Amino acid sequence: MALSPSSSAQQARQVLAERLAGLCRDAGLTGREIAARCGWHPSKSSRIMNARTPPSASDIRAWCRACDAEDQTVDLLASLRYAEGMWIGWRRMEQAGLKQAQEARLPLFERTRRFRSYSSWLVPGLIQTRGYTEAVLRAVQRRRVEVDDVPGAVAARMERQSVLYEGGRRFAFLMEESVLRNGIGGADVLVGQLGHLLTVGSLPHVSLGVVPMRADRSRMPVEGFWIFDTAQANVELVSGYLTITQPSEIAMYADTFAELAESAVYGVNARALVTAALDVLR
């Protein structure tokens, strides 16, 4: 299980470690005795019980056998999968291709009613054009994915965009002005994307904010993130995909979103920045 900077992921690992330690105590065994029964170095059981070393699925099965608690194996393996899901490296997440990774997010989008998205480097996926999406996913595929299923991944992302036009949802998109000038896919693709932003930004249930480039800004850009209702936040980092479910940590991202939103411009002023980027391209 890869380590992550998230306290949500650490908390999930800690809960699992405490449950394993509890089995050990209930069985009247010491950590050294568990290690002996499992054929491990004595320090391994200590590291697992103190959440310093994450257990593997085979470790959990051996632990349950050693504690004569094999009826707990299935539940503990489910806890392991949950903890692992908090932080997923790109290699693991995309090992079957980009299409599957795109499809896996659809249920989350379908059950969410309030979306908040901040982007410091790309137009958010829900408001990308097909051409822009294809350029983005092709760049991702070339950099880190062996399977080439970009057309299917593009189709999956386009299907996910249907939530933007279904009733009962609200969307707040924040992006840095530099996003309007990042020419991924070439000038023609970016022209189409900027025109689409002007259209999407006029929808009554969509708020489109642009944080202007200025020399005296007080709030610096951060990594891009999404907040889904108040239940979950997701962050895309260089090394992997972070899922946050701890309320206090979600609140930190909500506060950051609110602070950045205060620095953004909206309506006519946001459209002016988009139009200015279009004028340069034309």
pLDDT, tens only, 231-274? 899 998 887 888 888 788 889 999 999 999 999 999 999 999 99
Per the CB < 8 A criterion, the answer to whether 219 and 263 are in contact is yes
Q: Are residues 104 and 213 in the same domain?
A: yes
Q: Are residues 52 and 94 in the same domain?
A: no
pLDDT band at 44 (very low <50, low <70, confident <90, very high): very high
Q: Are residues 228 and 266 in the same domain?
A: yes
Q: What is the DSSP letter of 237?
A: -
**Dihedral angle computed from the Cα positions of residues 72, 75, 8 and 121, in that order, rounded to the nearest 10 degrees:** 140
Reading the block at residue 173, the tokens are 């998109």
Q: Are residues 96 and 34 in the same domain?
A: no
Would you say residue 73 lies in a domain? Answer: yes
**Dihedral angle computed from the Cα positions of residues 172, 177, 182 and 187, in that order, rounded to the nearest 10 degrees:** 90
Q: Which residues of 80-100 are buried (b: 16+ CB within 10 A; e: fewer)?
A: beebbebbbebeebbeebbbb
Q: What pLDDT is attached to residue 282?
A: 82
Q: Are residues 54 and 96 in the same domain?
A: no
Domain housing 34: 7-85
The total domain count for the chain is 2
Contacts (Cβ under 8 Å, ≥6 apart) of 48: 17, 20, 54, 55, 59, 63
* The residue type at 66: A
pTM of the model: 0.78
Q: Are residues 81 and 96 in the same domain?
A: no
Q: What is the DSSP letter of 86?
A: T
**pLDDT > 50? residue 2:** no
Supply the mean pLDDT for the chain: 91
Of 33, 53, 85, the domain-final residue:
85
CATH code assigned at 244:
3.30.870
Q: Are residues 24 and 111 in the same domain?
A: no
Q: For the CA atoms of the chain, what is the radius of gyration?
A: 23
Which DSSP helix (H) or strand (E) runs through 267? Answer: helix 267-281
Q: Are residues 144 and 277 in the same domain?
A: yes
Q: Are residues 158 and 23 in the same domain?
A: no
Distance of CA 92 to the CA centre of its chain: 14
CATH code assigned at 60:
1.10.260.40
Per DSSP, what are the bridge partners of residue 171? 115, 206
Q: What pLDDT is attached to residue 90?
A: 84
Q: What pLDDT is attached to residue 8?
A: 64
**pLDDT tens per residue, range 125-162:** 999 999 999 999 999 999 999 999 999 999 999 999 99
**pLDDT tens per residue, range 181-222:** 987 899 999 999 999 999 999 999 999 999 999 888 888 899
Q: Are residues 77 and 101 in the same domain?
A: no
| C-alpha–C-alpha distance, residues 102 and 210, integer Å | 26
Q: What pLDDT is attached to residue 239?
A: 79
pLDDT band at 7 (very low <50, low <70, confident <90, very high): low
Q: Are residues 133 and 268 in the same domain?
A: yes
CA angle 116, 120, 125 (to 5 degrees): 55
H helix count then E strand count, the chain: 13, 7
| C-alpha–C-alpha distance, residues 75 and 62, integer Å | 14
Q: Are residues 40 and 58 in the same domain?
A: yes
